[in-house]
Structure 1
Amino acid sequence: MMKQTSKQNLTMIAVFLPFFWLVSAVFAPAQAQSLVTYILTDPLTGVAIEGMDPVSYFTDPAPLKGQPQYEYTWMGVPWQFANEANMQVFMGHPEVYSPQYGGHGGMSMARGFVSDADPKIYTVFKGRLFLFYSAANREAFLLAPDAAALKGAEHWVTLSKTLSIR
């Protein structure tokens, strides 16, 4: 009796496993896509650009880590700043100091897809902050920054609509 039940269970698994695989393959892209947010955030803390101070990219020799006591929520995401002054500056003009493409990889966006970025790999080009996935991506961007920024802006219009707000 035990052997017959085991055979029946294995047969049922063999029959229905392809169906479950097909269903998961069809619905998995929609679920995964919704996990990518409009503003790049730290997956553990939810803070924008891994807690780096976006204003410090423009005012200091290297970007500074933000502090929890200087936190401001913009576009539904907390942003942290190194000091009160930087927070006030950002509050006045967040669109100027926030990274392009929501902080997603600048060269990836120029190539037509969304990728994460490392806030420590960046460039400020024409008064705008661009973050990159790797140093090689930053170097590729800097070979033709005008063309890359223009292409990235074109792709961002379409790709940003596929990202969840929070």
Structure 2
Amino acid sequence: MKHISKQILTMLALLLPLLGLFAAMVQTAHAQSVVSYIVADPLTGVALGGMDTVSYFTDPAPLKGLPEFETEWMGAPWHFANEANLEIFKRSPETYAPQYGGHGAMSMARGFVSDSDPSIYAVFKQRLFLFYSASNREAFLLSPDAAARQGQANWPALSKTLSTR
């Protein structure tokens, strides 16, 4: 019996440091969010799926950006349809970037983070809001002031859970 106890203690002495290392790796992996601060195309990494964010404000419908008109902002590349829109964005990116990093505006108002679809949007009080679905956009538009205010209140805490890349 004494011999078996000694073997168990020896095995524990060898395994405990490995378990500690494993726990540290799991904790580090868990601490790093898989959802990024700026919503970007999962394949290209380009913000807004490559859409020109300035065009939401200046054109009847948003335009697809081109790689030759690119800038980096908040850890993500942004594409623009032309040089003029690129320069406008560079001067005031906070004005033209979507609210909440491009995460779903109605989801943010409800207290959680979701992706969005750049083709489902609303410009409200000169700010760009993106949505996960058309029904979320409709819910937002029923009471846009309240939804925007609640989203703004939730964003500081929820944004801390997001990866900056």
What is the TM-score normalised by the length of structure 1? 0.81
Structure-to-structure mapping, 1:35-50, within 5 angstroms: 35-50=34-49
1:80 and 2:79 aligned: yes
Q: 1:28: how far off?
A: 10
Task: Kindly state the Cα deviation for residue 35 of structure 1 after the two structures are TM-superposed.
Answer: 1.1
Aligned-partner residue type, residue 152 of structure 2: A
Q: Which amino acid aligns with 1:140?
A: A
1:152 aligns with 151
* Alpha-carbon separation, structure 1, partners of 2:148 and 2:157: 15
Offset at 1:46? 0.4
- Which residues in structure 2 correspond to 1:17-28 (within 5 Å)? none
Q: Deviations over 1:36-58 (max 9, x none)?
A: 00000111000001000000000
Partner of 1:164 in structure 2? 163
Alpha-carbon separation, structure 1, partners of 2:76 and 2:59 = 23
2:108 is matched by which residue type in structure 1?
M
**Identity rate, percent:** 70
Q: Match of 1:106?
A: 105
- The aligned counterpart of 2:13 is none
SS for the counterpart of 1:109 is: helix
Q: Which amino acid aligns with 2:134?
A: A
Per the alignment, residue 126 of structure 1 pairs with 125
Task: Give the structure 2 partner of residue 53 of structure 1.
Answer: 52
Unaligned regions of 5+ residues in structure 2, if any?
Answer: 1-22
Q: Per-residue deviation at 1:30?
A: 2.3
Cα distance in 2, alignment partners of residues 145 and 52 from structure 1: 24
Q: How many residues align?
A: 141
> Structure 1 residue 75: deviation in Å?
1.1
5+ residue gaps, structure 1 = 1-22
The 1:79–1:158 alpha-carbon spacing in structure 2 relative to 1, beyond 3 Å, is: same
1:74 to partner: Cα distance: 0.6
Residue type of the alignment partner of 1:127:
Q
Please list the CA deviations of residues 7-52 of structure 1 after superposition, one character each: whole Å capped at 9, or x if unmatched: xxxxxxxxxxxxxxxx8xx869926x61100000111000001000
TM-score, normalised relative to structure 2: 0.82
Q: Secondary structure at the match of 2:160?
A: helix
Question: How far did residue 140 of structure 1 move?
Answer: 0.1
